[in-house]
Amino acid sequence: MLFRSADVFPDDSIVIAGRFGGTLTLGSTVLTTSCASGELFVAKMSSARSWLWAAQSGGCAYNTMPLGVAVGIDGGVYVSGKFQYAPMTLGSTTLSPSSAHGFMARLSPSGSWSWAKPIVADCEELRLTVDGAGDVYAYGTCGLFNSNIWT
């Protein structure tokens, strides 16, 4: 397991994002993948430090890596990341490497993928933050100057 990013909820529960290969057990949740390059995971732990839920990406995209994670004011979780060479699935959304190199996605408060949006630029860093109105901001190092990273 490679841990990459974390954020804290107002109640002191935490959310983490990373990449894993094989089997990852978080409390009673067992995530598995046969992808040689691994898959992305996002997991929430309560303030009492027990695992509440975990979700994973699908597909066998190469170099799948979360780059940022942020807690929304409604309890949802936003995650950004990158992938290459093969499609990646986040819930009911499949992202194609021919039209995207990265993504920004949302998980519901219960850990289900709500939506995913492709990012067309290569990103080495794409951090997230949420303001008091619930707006999500992405910042980091992506693409070229004056390029549109969203599709």
pLDDT tens per residue, range 55-96: 999 988 777 889 999 999 999 999 999 888 888 999 999 998
Distance CA 93, CA 59 (A): 11
Q: Are 66 and 40 in contact (CB under 8 A)?
A: yes
How many C-beta atoms lie closer than 10 Å to residue 139's C-beta?
Answer: 12
Whole-number Å distance between alpha carbons of 99 and 122: 11
Structure tokens at 17: 């994002």
**How does pLDDT run across 6-51, given as a tens digit for each residue?**
999 999 999 999 999 999 999 999 999 988 888 999 999 999 999 9
CB 133 within 8 A of CB 74: no
